[in-house]
Chains A and B, each alone.
Chain A
């Protein structure tokens, strides 16, 4: 089955700890994205990557970091510098940036206490 997987579905961390969220796709898509969604809100773009070893900041990149060492993988690290990390995190991919539809993973709900 082709698709995007995110793990884990639920994640709990103590304040001050860094945490890495996994995102893997087997769709052979070049572009990958990370979004954050807060309750009752739309999606906000954190980071995106158009090709391997390249990524760009989105609208709310502060306190987050990413890497793109493989085409299939785009992990997101939520650092202790992120002031309000509790949220629903969504990973997506597309054939390329621009006009192409994005396919989303099931999301990871992160709770930091």
Chain B
């Protein structure tokens, strides 16, 4: 699977947009970009995923660059409850194995009041 690189930590003011970057320069054509987050001492939560088009759901937006080598997760109006570790993961389009869901070290987002 393609390796991802994320900044270890970021701060964001409450009510502002949080933009979390992820580099995945070795991504291949059949790999999706997934984002999860994990609030302290809880299970990870799926946020969004995409292949090459920008995606939006009730939680966030995902912007993938045209060359697919990087992406940005956008939380449009961050709240204190969005404080969590955010993980960017790439995984193949189809796979018979569960092994590919691998969480790296992620970005610790702290939303400040």
List A residues at the B interface (Cβ < 8 Å). Answer: 4, 6, 31, 33, 42-43, 45, 48, 50, 56, 58-59, 88, 90-92, 97-99, 101-107, 109
Contact = CB atoms under 8 A, between A and B. Distances in A.
Nearest to B35: A101
A31 B96 CA distance: 11
Contact of A33 (B45, B46, B98): B98
A4 B53 CA distance: 30
Contacts of B98: 31, 33, 45, 48, 50, 56, 58, 97
B69 to A, nearest CB: 20
Nearest to B100: A98
Interface in B24-39: 32, 34
16 contacts: A4-B43, A42-B87, A42-B103, A43-B102, A43-B103, A56-B98, A97-B96, A98-B94, A98-B97, A99-B93, A99-B94, A99-B95, A101-B34, A103-B46, A105-B43, A109-B41
Interface residues of B, number: 25
A45 B44 CA distance: 14
Contacts, number: 63
A6 to B, nearest CB: 8
A58 B99 contact: yes
A10 to B, nearest CB: 10
B43 A104 contact: yes
A106 B101 contact: no
Interface string B73-110: 00000000000000100011111111101111110000
- Of A4, A88, A97, A103, the most chain B CB neighbours within 10 A belong to A97
A99 B43 contact: no
